Amino acid sequence: MGPFGTDPGRQTRRLSRSVDVARTTMEFCDECGSMMKAEDGLWECGSCGFTKPTGDAAKYTVTEDQEIGEVIESSEETSLPETDALCPECGHDRAYWYMQQIRSADESETRFFICSSCEYKWREDDN
């Protein structure tokens, strides 16, 4: 765990949402073979007018991972290293630092600083 509740590694959260299968799949008419469209809980054939219920299987849950933005919560204690670094916000000369991969894996990590006085956060390449 990083300073002030930050985690230098990427964090993800699991999101679940209900998806209407009728909007994401294709159904073909049992009578004429034409593609059907979903209307009010029914599959409806635009060619011959045949209808059938979408059924209970017409909904499913999609679970996906989404990256969480970094959360900073103030804390008196941190396990991050501290170094000499001039804060561009308040001018204090000490800051906590950590490395984080924010671009593609073939690029180097970015060093982040958090002022030990005012908790302003900046990147090494920002100055």
Q: Which domains does the chain have, with CATH numbers?
A: 1-72 (no CATH), 80-127 (2.20.25.10)
Query: Where do the H-state alpha helices sit in 36-109?
Result: none
Residues 6+ apart with CB under 8 A from 127: 88
**Rg (the chain; Cα; Å):** 26
pLDDT in tens, 25-65: 778 888 888 888 887 878 888 889 898 887 654 455 555 55
Is pTM beyond 0.75? Reply is no
pLDDT in tens, 96-125: 999 888 877 788 888 999 999 999 999 987
Spatial separation of the C-alpha atoms in residues 102 and 109, rounded to whole Å: 7
Spatial separation of the C-alpha atoms in residues 77 and 98, rounded to whole Å: 15
Spatial separation of the C-alpha atoms in residues 1 and 12, rounded to whole Å: 14
Supply 83's token pair. 């170094």
